[in-house]
């Protein structure tokens, strides 16, 4: 049965299901393994941090205390094709777990965040190129 409300349990389930797909994805898997690692303990910490991020974004909990822009900008070679794949998998996962209205809310937030990250990364990289 699809979830009709966005709550902490649903976000944890979403994050776990999504990153299970990411880890097996030929495009995204290697990027995330390079950034997160391959061990279950490392992935457990990452999933906890990302669940806190989505809790802050979608539920306003303020649990996330990280800085996603520098973390993403530091990933070499990450580009628009990676974000497109990430957003596609994320949207698919949200739609398999949540009813249409909450899935749309989750996907809208993901699209906004994805665009923001892409613009920020482009700006940061342009600044780095300008300084060279």
Q: Domains (ranges, CATH) in the chain?
A: 8-131 (1.10.490.10)
Contact 117, 68 (CB under 8 A): yes
Contact 75, 124 (CB under 8 A): no
pLDDT-derived band of residue 124, with 50, 70 and 90 as boundaries? confident
The residue written with tokens 């949200």 in the block is 94
What's residue 109's pLDDT? 98
Task: Note the pLDDT tens digit of each residue in 62-108.
Answer: 999 988 888 888 888 888 999 999 999 999 999 999 999 999 999 99
Instruction: Classify 7 as helix, strand or coil.
Output: coil
Angle at 38 (CA atoms; ends 73, 9), nearest 5 degrees: 80
pTM (2 d.p.): 0.91
What's residue 77's pLDDT? 80
CA distances from 62 to 44, 49, 52, 66 (A): 20, 12, 8, 11
Average pLDDT over residues 10-20: 98
The rounded distance, in Å, linking the Cα atoms of 78 and 101 is: 31
Q: Is pLDDT of 115 > 50?
A: yes
């Amino acid at each position: 049965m699809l979830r009709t409300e966005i709550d902490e349990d649903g976000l944890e389930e979403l994050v776990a299901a999504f990153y299970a797909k990411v880890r097996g994805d030929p495009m995204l898997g290697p990027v995330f393994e390079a950034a997160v690692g391959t061990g279950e303990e490392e992935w457990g910490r990452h999933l906890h941090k990302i669940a806190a991020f989505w809790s802050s974004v979608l539920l306003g909990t303020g649990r996330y205390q990280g800085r996603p822009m520098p973390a993403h900008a530091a990933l070499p070679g990450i580009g628009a094709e990676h974000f497109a794949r990430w957003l596609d998998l994320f949207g698919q996962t949200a739609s398999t777990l949540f009813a249409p209205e909450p899935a749309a809310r989750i996907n809208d937030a993901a699209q906004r965040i994805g665009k923001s990250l892409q613009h920020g990364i482009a700006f940061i990289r342009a600044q780095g190129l300008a300084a060279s």
